[in-house]
Amino acid sequence: MIRVTFDRNIPRWMKPLNIRHSSIPLPLMLTGSYRGHGLTTLSRDGRLLASGSSDGSDIGIWNTLGGGLNFTLTGNLGKVRAVAFSPDNMLLASGSNLSELRVWDVHSGQCLHAVDKVSNSDIIDIAFSPDNRLVACMYDQSIWLWDTVLGTCKKVLEGHCGQVNTMAFSSDGLLLLAVGWWDHTVRLWNVGTGAWRKTLYGHSSSIVALALSPASTLMASGSSEAHCSSGISRQGHFACSGALDVNAGG
């Protein structure tokens, strides 16, 4: 992303590192009878890594301490587009291009819940609530909140005018922030009631990234025009505190 965005015009705040690639030791090589591709994510404790397979339908669970393949999660419908570990490192959620959501026990490899055909769209992002009880899953313009214990839908959040691109729970699990790809907004939702709380405006192009500080007092969102907006939260009410053009710095 950085190479594509800043290939011709390196901003002032980005400094090159004077390091030879050949001098960097490889700390761990993950080996096993498994061919993977670029879809990867680490568990919160860093002990497990999930990676997609070459055909996109399977998920490998790797042990980062020893480098071995623990097992392969099979049975997904279609190609896996998104994966996420739960905060307690016990569960993995996966979403496919055939709108199938699966919740896995990462220590046994067992599929606990499988829900498919909710929508005709790809699942492109998944997020767990801080208490591990909910998994948020994006289907086109809506977000579904699933109970990880019962496997049932708790709430459906609707309101974006276009595809929802990415999302994040607040640290207390009371709010869900979701980014609209086409309507250039960030929407805040009450997780308990499913009610819309607020819409944040300011971006003039598609929002491609969203991040919250550990205490959820700060939020940052980045657009495809290389602009970043930051917000400050006071009792769940966000207000824009500034904007940054990452090509110019400042």
Count of CB atoms situated within 10 Å of the CB of 15: 8
Domain assignment present for residue 213? The answer is no
Query: What whole-number distance in Å separates Cα of residue 180 and Cα of residue 167?
Result: 9
For residue 174, how far is the Cα from the chain centroid?
18
CA dihedral of residues 19, 23, 25, 30 (deg, nearest 10): 90
Does residue 250 belong to any structural domain of this protein?
A: no
For residue 57, give the 3-state DSSP assignment.
Answer: coil
Nearest Cα to Cα of residue 61 among 75, 41, 79, 80: 41
Residue 102 covered by a domain = yes
Query: Position 228: which residue type?
Result: C
Pure H helices in 115-249: none
Residue with tokens 């959620």: 93
Give the residue from 249, 174, 169, 244 showing the smallest Cα distance to 202: 244
The pLDDT, as a whole number, for residue 4 is 43
In tens digits, the chain (250 residues) has pLDDT values of 344 444 555 555 555 555 454 444 555 555 554 455 557 899 999 999 998 876 778 899 999 888 888 989 998 888 888 899 999 999 999 988 888 899 999 999 999 999 876 666 788 889 999 999 999 988 777 889 999 999 999 998 887 776 777 889 999 999 998 886 667 788 889 999 999 888 887 777 777 778 888 888 888 887 766 555 555 454 445 555 555 444 444 4
Domain count, the chain: 1
Nearest-CA neighbor of 80 among 95, 92, 90?
95
Specify if 22 maps to a domain.
no
pLDDT at 179: 81
Q: Per the confidence metrics, is the pTM higher than 0.85?
A: no
Domain of residue 130, residue span: 37-208
CATH of the domain at 41: 2.130.10.10
Tell me the sheet residues that pair with 50: 41, 61
Query: What is the residue-wise DSSP string for 208-238?
Result: EEEEE-TTSSEEEEEETTSEEEEEEEETTEE
What are the tokens at 172?
Answer: 């207390």
Assess if residue 237 is contained within a domain: no
Q: Are 103 and 111 contacting, i.e. CB atoms less than 8 angstroms apart?
A: yes
Q: Structure tokens of 146?
A: 């699933």
Structural domain includes residue 23: no
Q: Are strands 69-73 and 59-63 parallel, antiparallel or unpaired?
A: antiparallel
Whether 91 contacts 106, CB under 8 Å? yes
Q: Is the dihedral of CA 36, 210, 100, 46 positive or negative?
A: positive
Helices (H), 57-159: none
The verdict on residue 46 lying in a domain is yes
Please report the pLDDT score of residue 234 as a whole number.
Answer: 47
Is position 218 within any domain?
no
- In angstroms, rounded to a whole number, what is the distance separating the alpha carbons of residues 155 and 138? 12
Determine how many CB atoms are found less than 10 A away from the CB of residue 141: 19
pLDDT the model gives residue 13: 54
